[in-house]
Structure 1
Amino acid sequence: MLKSLLFLLVVVLVSLPRSELRAADISSGRLYRVGSSAYIVVRGPITAGDADRFKKQALDLIKRGLIPGIVRVYSPGGDVTEALSIGRQLRTLGASTQAPLRLSDYNPTVKPGANACPIGDDLTGKWLYYLPPTGQGDVDCVCASACFLIWAAGTGRHGDVIGVHRPSFVDQAWYGRLPLDAAKKAYDRSVNEAQAYLREMEIPDSIIKTMFAVDSRSMYYLEKRDRLQLYNSSVHLEEVTLARCGKLGAEPSFEQRAKRSDCLGAIYGADKSGAAEYIKRYGGD
């Protein structure tokens, strides 16, 4: 009985009160004006059914001849089981992941602590903003708890605002009533499942240890030295991009941005092997 309940009860604590939880908004679109690369945005708390909604978006894009190349994850956390499923799906796709950017890391004139989340296409898409110290802006513009599990699956992990901590059970009263030996067995199983997944996604043991050193009522945001350990982009692809498309200056014009965006579009989305494997595993008749 205990084993059958575990996946219904285990979550990673979110930074929103549970009374405010709602389903994630999962959307998608073409990433560049040219080429076949597309994006998927997962925005909001991760709840039951989100993995199926993600699958629908991915299959719809592939049927239209588009390749889901990047998954943007902006969420305070939520259901671990759903997060693991989404993570394994995007790893099959070979997609990269994008967490919020911390604007002050790139522009010192920006108020410290401001998060920024792109949600549209590369050239004309909109952005969400959030200032955690004051609570101003869009509260979804974070990536914490179960969001980290999705972000970790990226083949190319981007972003600055990634929060981690140990999992907990939705029904804290139920867990609190368990005898200590039963509580240990229940928690150990949830820990083993999460750690096995993170190792599957090639997360270093040092990061896993950091995550499980933080209690479920606290949050540790990965520092730059932590994020460097998680760097897993295709370096040859980055160098080809630099060679063909160059880098933008501090204040590029729209024409310069458009030229580089079109150049990127001609490069990304060319590899369709991930989409083919996704169809084999997840359907799409």
Structure 2
Amino acid sequence: MQRFIPKFYPQTGLKYVLVVQLTMAGLLIATHIFEMFPRLFREQVEMPSGPVSPGDQRREYRTDRPVPDLVTLKGPVELPMPEKFPDRLRFEEIVVEGAGNVLLVTGQIENGDASRFQIYLSGMSQVPDLVALHSPGGLVSEALQIGRHIRDNGMSSTVLAGAFCVSSCPYILAGGEERIVSRRGIVGLHQHYYEQPKYLPVIFAVESIQMGQGQTMEYLIEMGVDPSLMVYSLKTPPEQIYALVEEELTETRIATEVVD
């Protein structure tokens, strides 16, 4: 009896490769659709404006500039801060009367900024007394590293009058030995996007998201901040910011001192 030996045709192999590529492309498209669904069907809520007060603390989230009129400035701004946020962190050493050497950190937190911060810090003639923050946030992983650099160098952190520290920026604030927040500044939180593979549907990325949240909570505990701080972020959509009032700042210990 003659055995049948199937023949391999190169065209067949190419066909399978094409099918696999089309399947991967379909997964990519499905991922983007799944990510868009919550935004498409989420009810559009008109956000209030003006200064925040207890119970009225959600505002529009902006990455290009601070939200106008969010803080009532009855006195002078303590440091010259840009109205528009730089595309990545900018470092500037300033001497402030009554505060000593201040390292002003402004802009969005992007990939590599933690290394840039460490390099800038090592090049300074002396370690600054304060790290002043004015940032709309950015990459959580970079913010955690910068916060650890601040703690390792025994520095304090601050949000001065007129300054914004929102999204992932409060995790940098958490790194300070002392964390001083002005009543005329803003510390705010919302839901974060943790780094995850973009080629997988969201359902398969749950594990990495939970891992990121766990690492953030672990960091807060390490810094002496109550991890309940994350409740405010988890309950606030990404397009909004929840601005903490004085009681919340002190109870969660994200601020060790609130000043005028």
| Fold similarity call, TM over 0.5 | yes
Task: Measure the CA separation in 2 of the matches of 1:16 and 1:94.
Answer: 29
Task: Measure the CA separation in 2 of the matches of 1:23 and 1:84.
Answer: 16
Aligned to 2:201: 178
Aligned to 1:272: none
Q: 2:176 aligned with 1:168, yes or no?
A: no
Q: Which of 64, 87, 90 in structure 2 is aligned with 1:22?
A: 87
Aligned to 2:7: none
Greater percentage in helix: 1
Aligned to 1:41: 104
Task: Measure the CA separation in 2 of the matches of 1:221 and 1:192.
Answer: 23
CA RMSD between the two structures: 2.9
Aligned to 1:127: none
What runs of 5+ residues in structure 1 fail to find an aligned partner?
1-13, 102-115, 117-140, 234-249, 251-285
Aligned to 2:117: 54
Aligned to 1:232: 256
Deviation for aligned residue 1:46: 0.8
Aligned to 2:233: 211
Deviation for aligned residue 1:218: 2.4
Count of paired positions: 174
Q: Please report the TM-score for the alignment, with normalisation by the length of structure 1.
A: 0.54
Q: 2:121 aligned with 1:99, yes or no?
A: no
8 Å Cα contact 2:148-2:175 kept in structure 1: yes
Q: Percent identity?
A: 24
State the AA in 2 paired with 1:71. Answer: V
State the AA in 2 paired with 1:73. Answer: L
Aligned to 1:155: 177
8 Å Cα contact 2:196-2:208 kept in structure 1: no
State the AA in 2 paired with 1:220. Answer: Y
**What CA deviation, in whole Å up to 9, does each residue of 1:190-240 have, x standing for no partner?**
11111111111111133232222223332211111011222436xxxxxxx
Deviation for aligned residue 1:32: 5.4
What runs of 5+ residues in structure 2 fail to find an aligned partner?
1-60, 65-84
Higher relative contact order (CA 8 A, sep 6+): 1
Question: Where does 1:185-264 land on structure 2 (aligned, <5 Å)?
Answer: 185-229=207-251, 230=253, 231-232=255-256
Task: Measure the CA separation in 2 of the matches of 1:205 and 1:169.
Answer: 17
